[in-house]
């Protein structure tokens, strides 16, 4: 049963609205002025507020403003016998759900009430979905092995800080997932998470990609462009495969980390940036430093915290959990019924070296779900998986 508050200094209006709404099976409370109404809003939980504009002690616009400051998702419908288009527009701009003029039209009133309550349900559903999405992202690091537990513990300690993190590990181990978890558990989670794959961008374009460029900076620069540092403002910039970054780009990234400033390609103005930088690589950066391919000073700037993501062969006890996770995820994506893996099939999967790590395991599970029998057997693994 929805809980509705009616705020109006006119007793007959309060009584009429109460009778109508109670007849429609709503629970109704009333307040005779804005001050009393605001106190009730702050002290109770209402699904909807119907508020007059012209009232003693505190007018409806002030009630609206202070109510939404205290409870931003509250649905407030403004009512006025002195209504003008300007007043209605102002109320809507301030966050009112709707505006109804007196004398009240019963049908219009009930339609507005139900629309407002429907909106509340959508708001709650959206919150629930966001929470589920957020939780699914945080729970995507599947496993209970000692190796993966250490990674999760490190994430929990480091994420709330602004410390830079260098994430190392072989291809397919889940370095990007670690970076996303660091962002989602940080104070920056509501700001952008921007990813740059340094290995996928040609060396001559990486600086423009990271720092942006001014119009006319080079032949194809037909307009100004913001780079990834600016796009990540207030959030997190994830530099994946940083070991493949060009020497000139390394120098600019180092300056950005030292001074929290960047300059666009072809630009002369310094631009302040507030970005947390996370980096990842599958290379041995210390060896790259010895061979002159990577700047030692940049390495030290990036590696305030080191997180090494274990290879799948180092956490084979996690394979049963990963198989269950991928069965659910893949079957949902493909719209196919879930299949069970026999115990011996799981044991067979645990015998492989998994050079492609988690990425390879996911591909194998998808192949088995598509090609295998109703229940995946060790024979299916032998037939469709080449170790």
pTM value is 0.64
Q: What is the pLDDT of residue 73?
A: 87
99: Cβ contacts below 8 Å, ≥ 6 apart: 77, 78, 79, 80, 83, 87, 88, 91, 92
Written as one string, the DSSP assignment of 85-100 is HHHHHHHHHHT-SEEE
The reply to whether domains 143-310 and 313-384 share a CATH topology is no
The Cα–Cα gap between 142 and 145 comes to: 9
Instruction: State pLDDT tens for residues 166-198.
Output: 999 999 999 999 999 999 999 999 999 999 999
Confidence of residue 122 (pLDDT cuts 50, 70, 90): confident
Q: What is the DSSP string of 134-158?
A: HHHHHTTS---SHHHHHHHHHHHHH
What pLDDT was estimated at residue 131?
55
pLDDT for 138: 45
Q: How many residues does the chain have?
A: 387
pLDDT (tens digit per residue) in 305-341:
999 999 999 999 999 999 999 999 899 888 888 899 9
Question: Closest by alpha carbon to 50, among 117, 1, 107?
Answer: 117
Tell me the two tokens of residue 19: 């009778």
Confidence class for position 128, pLDDT limits 50, 70, 90? low
User: Over 50: is that where the pLDDT of 117 sits?
Assistant: yes
Choose the weakest-confidence range: 17-21, 68-72, 366-370: 68-72
Task: State the Cα–Cα distance between residues 243 and 198, nearest whole angstrom.
Answer: 8
| Per-position b or e across 9-25, b if 16+ CB within 10 A of its CB | bbeebbeebbebbeeee
> Which sequence spans correspond to the domains of the chain?
3-130, 143-310, 313-384
**Within 13 Å, how many C-alpha atoms sit on residue 281's CB side?**
19
CATH number of the 143-310 domain? 3.40.50.300
SS3 280: strand
Cβ contact 301:254 at 8 Å: yes
Label residue 129 by pLDDT band (50, 70, 90): low
**What rounded mean pLDDT belongs to the chain?**
91
- Give the per-residue pLDDT at 361: 96
Cα separation, 98 vs 95, in Å, equals 9
The DSSP output letter for 242 is G
- For every residue of 305-351, which 3-state class applies, written as one string? EEEECCCHHHCHHHHHHHHHHHHHHHHHHHCCCCCEECHHHHHHHCC
**pLDDT tier at 84 (50, 70, 90 boundaries)?**
low
Assess contact for 345 and 206: CB atoms under 8 A. no
Residue 105 DSSP code: P
pLDDT band at residue 39 under the 50/70/90 scheme: very high
> Distance (Å, rounded) from C-alpha 56 to C-alpha 35?
9
Classified by CATH at the fold level, domain 313-384 comes out as: Helicase, Ruva Protein; domain 3 (1.10.8)
Q: How far apart are CA 102 and CA 80, in angstroms?
A: 6
Distances (CA, A) of 20 to 51, 105, 347: 16, 12, 67
Query: CB of 342 within 8 A of CB of 204?
Result: no
What's the topology of domain 3-130? Answer: Rossmann fold (3.40.50)
Q: What DSSP state is assigned to residue 9?
A: S
- For β-strands 212-213 and 225-226, DSSP reports them as antiparallel
């Amino acid at each position: 049963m929805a809980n509705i508050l009616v705020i109006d200094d006119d007793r007959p209006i309060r009584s009429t609205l109460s009778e109508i709404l109670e007849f429609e099976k709503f629970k109704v409370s009333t307040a005779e002025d804005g001050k009393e109404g605001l106190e009730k809003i702050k002290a109770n939980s209402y699904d909807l507020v119907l508020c007059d504009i012209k009232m003693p002690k505190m007018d409806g616009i002030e009630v609206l403003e202070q109510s939404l400051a205290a409870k931003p998702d509250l649905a407030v419908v403004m009512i006025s016998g002195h209504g003008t288009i300007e007043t209605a527009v102002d109320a809507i701009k301030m966050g009112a759900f709707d505006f109804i003029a007196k004398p009240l039209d019963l049908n219009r009133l009930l339609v507005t009430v139900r629309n407002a309550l429907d909106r509340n349900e959508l708001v709650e559903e959206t919150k629930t979905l966001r929470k589920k999405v957020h939780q699914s992202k945080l729970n995507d690091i599947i496993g209970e092995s000692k190796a993966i537990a250490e990674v999760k513990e490190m994430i929990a300690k480091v994420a709330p800080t602004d410390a830079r993190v260098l994430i190392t590990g072989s291809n397919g181990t889940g370095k990007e997932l670690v970076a996303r978890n660091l962002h989602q558990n940080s104070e920056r989670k509501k700001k952008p998470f921007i990813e740059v794959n340094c290995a996928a961008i040609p060396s001559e374009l990486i600086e423009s990609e990271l720092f942006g460029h001014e119009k006319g900076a080079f032949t194809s620069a037909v307009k100004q462009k913001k780079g990834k540092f600016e796009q990540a403002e207030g959030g997190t910039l994830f530099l994946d495969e940083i070991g493949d970054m060009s020497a000139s780009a390394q120098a600019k990234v180092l300056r950005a980390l030292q001074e929290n400033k960047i300059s666009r390609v072809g630009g002369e103005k310094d631009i302040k940036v507030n970005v947390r930088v996370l980096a990842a690589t599958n290379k041995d950066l210390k060896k790259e430093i010895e061979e002159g391919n990577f700047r030692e000073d940049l390495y030290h700037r990036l590696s305030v915290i080191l997180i090494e993501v274990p290879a799948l062969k180092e956490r084979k006890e996690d394979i049963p959990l990963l198989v269950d996770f991928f069965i659910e995820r893949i079957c949902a994506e493909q719209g196919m019924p879930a299949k069970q893996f026999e115990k011996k099939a799981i044991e067979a999967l645990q015998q492989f070296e998994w050079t492609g790590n988690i990425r390879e395991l996911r591909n194998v599970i998808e192949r088995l779900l598509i090609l295998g029998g109703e229940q995946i057997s060790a024979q299916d693994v032998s037939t469709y998986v080449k170790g």
